Amino acid sequence: MTYIDPESRAKAKAHGHPHASEEIIAAGCDLADRVCRELHRAGLPAYVERPEAPKQPGVWVEVDTQGEYAGGLYVRWSAPELAEAGMRAVAEQQDPAAPEWKHYAEVVLLMQTALIGILRLAGFSVVRAEEVDDVAEGDVYVHADTPSSS
């Protein structure tokens, strides 16, 4: 299976952001499936993010395909109704601290804590995503599996 089409791979490389090998991305996809299964066991809707899939409420899992953490996962809570209400309130009130936005942000942080706990309990190596990417506030990062030394 090809995870990154050759044209996208070439463009990324030309811009100085090459994708990881297909093997690393395949291992990341396997990890994403295992994370989703564990989240389903805990009663949470969880989906591997794919370009053709519609956005739904619940947990979105995205394989990191570039950089030093390639093969790991970004895990984010998606609450579209709360997010839309928060963004609408910020725009209408011209206030970045609108109560609706603060409500949404608090829910995201509560879910981040819950996701970290659930995934660590299941044995995954998990951190707040801000520890690996300072713009991924509210997300969770699952480190790639370390290759076994057999």
Q: What is the pLDDT of residues 32-72, one digit of tens each?
A: 999 999 999 999 999 998 777 777 899 999 999 888 888 99
pLDDT score for 106? 95
Q: What is the pLDDT of residues 82-134, one digit of tens each?
A: 999 999 999 999 998 999 999 999 999 999 999 999 999 999 999 999 999 88
Three-class SS of the chain: CCCCCHHHHHHHHHCCCCECCHHHHHHHHHHHHHHHHHHHHCCCCEEECCCCCCCCCEEEEEECCECCCCCCEEEEEECHHHHHHHHHHHHHHCCCCCHHHHHHHHHHHHHHHHHHHHHHHCCCCEEEHHHCCCCCCCCEEECCCCCCCC
